Amino acid sequence: MAIMTPLIVKVVVAALLGSVVGFERELARKVAGIRTHALVCLASALFTAISVDAFKEHIGSVGYDPSRIISNIIVGIGFIGAGAILRHGSKVEGTTTAASLWAIAAIGVTVGVGLFKEAVIITAIIYAILQAVWFIEQKMRIRLSAIYKSEDEEFRN
């Protein structure tokens, strides 16, 4: 029995791609790093691959729709992303990490359906975006972020 089945290859590739983005988040000392991004990407690829590959004989059957799994991955990642977002007074942190988790779940889905080349390219784009903003912030010595202002605070001003 071959150890590197197509499913295992997808899961390993997804874990590696998730680790790339997680590495950037780890360097930035964010709450979700390599482990979280690798696991989210791996699980998204696994759920997608199982829903697409394991039930191929049911294509066309009433009630079979592999996109249901994908849509539920998106919903589930929303909950994980919400846990990464923190509010401290007027400052909201973690939105970029939440967005990177959402994006990495999409990478996992992309790998799960077998679009390896596309997944690698999109991972590189995500990494480049995260690095470019960091580089700009460092060079300009500014923090590119929004400040949250509640309705109550508007009345106090």
Q: Could you tell me how many residues make up the chain?
A: 157
Contact 15, 41 (CB under 8 A): yes
Residues facing residue 86 across a β-bridge: 93
Whole-number mean pLDDT of the chain?
85
Quote the tokens at residue 110: 């992309």
Give the count of beta carbons closer than 10 Å to the beta carbon of residue 27. 13
CA atoms within 13 A on the CB side of 118: 10
- Name the amino acid, one letter, at 25: R
Digit-coded pLDDT (tens) for 44-71: 999 999 988 877 776 667 667 778 888 8
What pLDDT is stored for residue 29 in this prediction? 85
